Amino acid sequence: MRTETPQTIYLKDYLPSPYIIDRIDLKFELREVDTEVEARMVITRNPASAEVNAPLVLVGDALELVSVKIDGETLAADRYTVSPTELVIRDLPDSCFCDVVTRIQPQTNTTLSGLYKSNDNFYTQCEAEGFRRIMYYLDRPDVMTRFSTTIVADKQKYPVLLSNGNKVGEGDSGKGRHWVKWVDPFRKPAYLFALVAGKLVVLEDHFRTRSGREVLLQIWVEHGNLDKCHHAMASVKRAMKWDEDRFGLEYDLDIYMIVAVSDFTMGAMENKGLNIFNTKYVLARPETATDWDFGAIEAVIGHEYFHNWTGNRVTCRDWFQLSLKEGLTVFRDQEFSMDLGSRAVERIDQVKTLRSAQFPEDAGPMAHPIRPTSYIEINNFYTVTIYEKGAEVIRMQHTLLGEAGFRKGMDLYFRRHDGQAVTTEDFVAAMADANGADLEQFKRWYDQAGTPVLRASGQYDAEQHCYRLTLAQSCPATPGQPEKLPFHIPVKMGLLGIEGQTLPLRLRGEAEAIQGSRVLSLTDAEQTFEFVDIPCQPVPSLLQGFSAPVKLEMAYTDAELAFLLAHDSDEFNRWDAGQKLAERVLLALVADAQAGRPLQLPEHFTSAMRQVLNNEQLDPALAAQALSLPTEGWLAEVMEVADPDTIHQARQFVRRKLAQALSADWLRHYQRLTQGAYVWTGDASAKRALRNVCLSYLCAGEQEQELQRAHEQFMQADNMTDQQAALAVLANVAHPLREHALSHFADQWQDEALVMDKWLQMQATSCLPGTLEHVKQLTQHRCFTLTNPNKVYALIRSFASANPLHFHAADGSGYHWVADQVLALDGINPQVASRVVSAFNRWKKYDTARQGLMKAELQRILAKEGLSPDVFEIASKALQA
């Protein structure tokens, strides 16, 4: 057991820092065993602080102090106390120079936080609290400082030396060493500091901003990867242009650098002028990266670039405000992808993430509002709630205020807060003030956790020709929040007439009707909206474009859902109606299977799917989405008690039945959608998506001829999208072609780490018997290592979070193995360990036997001596719930 329980940090305890750091000049002596960090800081009292005689408390993490001076004088021993986590200095003058020299060990740093090595190069990761692993500092986002950085290192081993801002000098330091000095003209919190040193090659380009600034663009990668940087570079230029066009925001330095590193915990990091990326979100060629990868790279490049304004120029006052920058920046990257691609298809992907990952989080032991009020380890709060639900909360403001109103709010936000560290309240105030809007009740979205349930019911009055729509809301209790107040929910909706036409909408009392859709504001627990001049019983299309992150409940008939799938003018809702229909069919089959009744696929569902497939008017990307069944994970979420075996059985049954019933159609479209050489365009990737859905159904019956077809596609594909899709099919069948394809793939791609991640992931998510044993063997494969997060995510996290059948094996073998991995990872990289252990969070969803097995593993994890606060927080909260 731990000797002491980690501390909880509370929002209510926030106080301004007693000191500010006006400037810092840093010098890094990078060496082969340890690194010395010399800092000269200009420190003054903070006029905004009420604490007059407070000591200066600089925080550290695993640090060794070499020396400390105030105004050039070595400090007497009674003026300070020091430990690996703190340097406390008493009796400071109102303003002083403070020189601190620290020694650190980047070579043995496996946490990937602070300064660390990856493939012989040096990199930093400082968000959220990594800077304190580099030196003693006021490591909090509201301390914004001007930085200069001098890097000294061996010239041969580390020819490239990068940091934030502009390069102002370089030279020789003798003994084979050289130096480079960087100055960042913008104040920034320490979490945006970055340093990179090593052997790297660069792809360069230029962008001219609309006011005429010439910006040098650089993408730095390890040798051998230059040919995979062109898509990333094109994405950077599109992002810069888009932010100018849509938000009037320009880049503000003469140079913008991206560095790709293979060992990285998250996707990427927005360090000022020097973004550091996981290689996964930079490197792509058609042969090695899928359409999904190309889209994700564009989105993540956009995301980090957009942070320059939403995050860096205006930053967070404290980490409780994390969604201020993350929710807003996700909203911006989503809009970027939607403006460049297909709005409906992008929206579907966003909502799939929200439902499959955020809704479960909001219903589980880690449920937290997008502005939390407490945390143990801030790294545990880089969540789908903060990011994706945070983006939904921004999107709702956009929906309520309209595009022009939202833009006015953004403009005011920057006018008021450029250069400041602010709160989510400041953001909402700018939106409200710029529009004269009342967002008081809306702000509850920032404070209340949980997914609201929106119950809708309609009543047609044939005599009065009116339609009454009643909307009622409620929100389940979450840890620490037993009662909830009503939210302000924007409900975008329309009414469909008999032929599927959209009816004009006039509320009783209004002078004129609105053509098409409108946004209703639900603010009470229950409200009725009365539409007049409705000629006949309509079918309501509710929550169009998913206008609020809620669970909609409406007692549609199957026929109404099929009607919406065929006719809704809102493409998102067409897809959603199809998913709802599929969910019903699947849940009914699960119930039949549990009761031992024979399974039968309803004809209405087959015919709805046939109509979608054969509707060549439909965007193929939308068709591909509509023909994909809800995942096993989602079905588990909507069941009272999840039954992973039966869910798998029912879903496979539906796939096999659809494969048979529509066999000629799948084949015809598979053949029709053949294309020439690979291009990454919306049109081409839409066709590939649908064609690969066809392939997957063709193979669902596991007939020899169809498996040969998949194998042929696998062998002949000139791009990873088609090769991976075929391999994913084969990885789930017990057939010699599976072994052949997997080993062929491993030989073909053994030198491409990111492609080998796909290989690991496809095996980890296989439904075949023996998958766990196979996964255990893969941990011994030479491409696998526990120290690389991408490998851990591909093999271990995929197994735990995307293979419900085997993770939830009734004998507990899946749980036991994953818990072993968590314990091993905890000593290497606690942030990664805590992402893996989160797979146990939904233990309450399962039967008592599985609950017991999962709880036992959580207890075993908690019993580990010296367990990290990261894993402690997740595991202990899971058990408390």
Question: Looking at the annotation, which residues are catalytic?
Answer: 304
Considering Cα of 699, then 705, then 711, then 714, what sign does the dihedral take? negative
127 near ligand TRP (CB under 6 A): yes
- Out of ligand TRP, Zn ion, none, what residue 45 binds, judged by CB under 5 to 8 A for its kind, is none
DSSP one-letter code for 782: T
Window of 260-268, 704-712, 746-754, 760-768 that interacts with ligand TRP by CB under 6 A:
260-268
Binding mask 310-349 for ligand TRP (x = CB under 6 A): ----------------x-----------------------
Give whole-number Cα distances, 135 to 18, 89, 330, 491, 697, in Å.
19, 15, 31, 50, 56
Q: How far is residue 115's CA from residue 158's CA, in Å, rounded to a whole number?
A: 15
Nearer to Zn ion, 326 or 346 (CB): 326
DSSP one-letter code for 735: S
Please enumerate in sequence order all residues whose Cβ is within 8 A of that of 429, keeping only pairs 6 or more positions apart, or say none.
none
266 near ligand TRP (CB under 6 A): yes
Binding mask 641-660 for ligand TRP (x = CB under 6 A): --------------------
To the nearest whole angstrom, how small is the minimum distance from the Cβ of residue 303 to ligand TRP?
6
Nearer to ligand TRP, 326 or 571 (CB): 326
Binding mask 773-812 for ligand TRP (x = CB under 6 A): ----------------------------------------
Nearer to ligand TRP, 266 or 581 (CB): 266
| Amino acid at site 13 | D
Window of 123-131, 200-208, 212-220, 789-797 that interacts with ligand TRP by CB under 6 A:
123-131
Q: How far is residue 315's CA from residue 300's CA, in Å, rounded to a whole number?
A: 19
Give whole-number Cα distances, 179 to 30, 160, 163, 196, 682, in Å.
10, 10, 12, 13, 46
Q: For residue 468, give both structure tokens.
A: 């009454």
Nearer to ligand TRP, 189 or 814 (CB): 189
Cα end-to-end distance, the chain, whole Å: 20
| Angle between helical axes of 558-567 and 603-614 (0-180°, round to 10) | 0
Which residue's C-beta sits nearest to ligand TRP? Answer: 266
Judged by DSSP in three states, 260 sits in: strand
To the nearest whole angstrom, how small is the minimum distance from the Cβ of residue 134 to ligand TRP?
14
Binding mask 70-109 for ligand TRP (x = CB under 6 A): ----------------------------------------
Q: How far is residue 217's CA from residue 241's CA, in Å, rounded to a whole number?
A: 13
Nearer to Zn ion, 24 or 300 (CB): 300
Q: Which of 372, 371, 369 is nearest to 358 (CA)?
A: 369
Q: How far is residue 819's CA from residue 860's CA, in Å, rounded to a whole number?
A: 8
Which residues on adjacent β-strands are paired with residue 489? 522
265 near ligand TRP (CB under 6 A): yes
Q: In what order do the strands lie in the sheet with 86-89?
A: 56-59, 86-89, 80-83
CA angle 367/370/376 to nearest 5° reads 60
Q: Which of 454, 432, 433, 455 is nearest to 443 (CA)?
A: 432
Judged by DSSP in three states, 678 sits in: coil
- Out of ligand TRP, Zn ion, none, what residue 379 binds, judged by CB under 5 to 8 A for its kind, is ligand TRP
375 near ligand TRP (CB under 6 A): no
Site residue total, ligand TRP (CB under 6 A): 13
111 near ligand TRP (CB under 6 A): no
To the nearest whole angstrom, how small is the minimum distance from the Cβ of residue 362 to Zn ion?
20
CA angle 263/224/724 to nearest 5° reads 70
279 near ligand TRP (CB under 6 A): no
270 near ligand TRP (CB under 6 A): yes
To the nearest whole angstrom, how small is the minimum distance from the Cβ of residue 800 to ligand TRP?
20
Q: How far is residue 436's CA from residue 176's CA, in Å, rounded to a whole number?
A: 64
CA angle 544/397/301 to nearest 5° reads 90
Window of 250-258, 267-275, 749-757, 855-863 that interacts with ligand TRP by CB under 6 A:
267-275
Q: How far is residue 315's CA from residue 425's CA, in Å, rounded to a whole number?
A: 13
Q: For residues 473 and 453, is the Cβ–Cβ distance under 8 A?
A: yes
Nearer to ligand TRP, 265 or 723 (CB): 265
Which residues in the 381-400 window bind ligand TRP by CB under 6 A?
382
Which of 218, 321, 379, 544 binds ligand TRP (CB under 6 A)? It is 379
- Out of Zn ion, ligand TRP, none, what residue 809 binds, judged by CB under 5 to 8 A for its kind, is none
Binding mask 326-365 for Zn ion (x = CB under 5 A): x--x------------------------------------
Which residues in the 436-475 window bind ligand TRP by CB under 6 A?
none
To the nearest whole angstrom, how small is the minimum distance from the Cβ of residue 680 to Zn ion?
24
Q: How far is residue 614's CA from residue 774's CA, in Å, rounded to a whole number?
A: 40
Window of 87-95, 197-205, 264-272, 614-622 that interacts with ligand TRP by CB under 6 A:
264-272
- Out of Zn ion, ligand TRP, none, what residue 377 binds, judged by CB under 5 to 8 A for its kind, is none
Site residue total, Zn ion (CB under 5 A): 2
To the nearest whole angstrom, how small is the minimum distance from the Cβ of residue 300 to ligand TRP?
8
- Out of Zn ion, ligand TRP, none, what residue 391 binds, judged by CB under 5 to 8 A for its kind, is none
Nearer to Zn ion, 304 or 757 (CB): 304
Q: How far is residue 83's CA from residue 63's CA, in Å, rounded to a whole number?
A: 8
Binding mask 286-325 for Zn ion (x = CB under 5 A): ----------------------------------------
Nearer to ligand TRP, 60 or 494 (CB): 60
Nearer to Zn ion, 293 or 326 (CB): 326
Q: How far is residue 172's CA from residue 168's CA, in Å, rounded to a whole number?
A: 14
Phi, psi of 114 (to 5 degrees): 85, -145
* Beta-strand relationship, 64-70 and 73-74: antiparallel
To the nearest whole angstrom, how small is the minimum distance from the Cβ of residue 867 to Zn ion?
28
Q: How far is residue 472's CA from residue 452's CA, in Å, rounded to a whole number?
A: 10
Which of 68, 104, 232, 268 binds ligand TRP (CB under 6 A)? It is 268
Nearer to Zn ion, 139 or 326 (CB): 326
Q: How far is residue 791's CA from residue 262's CA, in Å, rounded to a whole number?
A: 10
377 near ligand TRP (CB under 6 A): no
Q: Which of 786, 780, 868, 856 is nearest to 821 (CA)?
A: 786
Nearer to Zn ion, 384 or 454 (CB): 384
Which residues on adjacent β-strands are paired with residue 147? 24, 184
Q: For residues 453 and 525, is the Cβ–Cβ distance under 8 A?
A: no
Site residues, ligand TRP (CB under 6 A): 125, 127-128, 265-266, 268-270, 303-304, 326, 379, 382
Which positions lie near Zn ion, rule CB under 5 A?
326, 329
